[in-house]
Amino acid sequence: MEKNEYVVIKAIEDGVNVIGLTRGTDTRFHHSEKLDSGEVMIAQFTDHTSAIKVRGKAKILTSYGEVESENRK
């Protein structure tokens, strides 16, 4: 994925967490954003962020398509 591409995350329940993970040899959480139902976050991959983890039920749109995160069953 190009670093300047956007990822759209739409929460479909309260308390969805969007977590940014650091780029480089040390992979750790550097930011956590909490979204409530209906809230949307538009994010990019950057020099500081190489991965994004979504916890909770959300719709995620990228240039690869659309995917839905879920809660464990």
* Site for ligand TRP contains 18 (CB under 6 A): yes
Give every CB contact of residue 60 below 8 A, 6+ residues apart in sequence: 7, 8, 9, 10, 54, 66, 67, 68, 69
Structure tokens at 40: 């949307």
Closer CB to ligand TRP, residue 3 or residue 70? 3
Structure tokens at 27: 């992979």
* Site for ligand TRP contains 61 (CB under 6 A): no
Instruction: State which of residues 10, 17, 34, 49 lies at the interface with ligand TRP (CB under 6 A).
Output: 49
Instruction: State which of residues 40, 48, 64, 70 lies at the interface with ligand TRP (CB under 6 A).
Output: 48
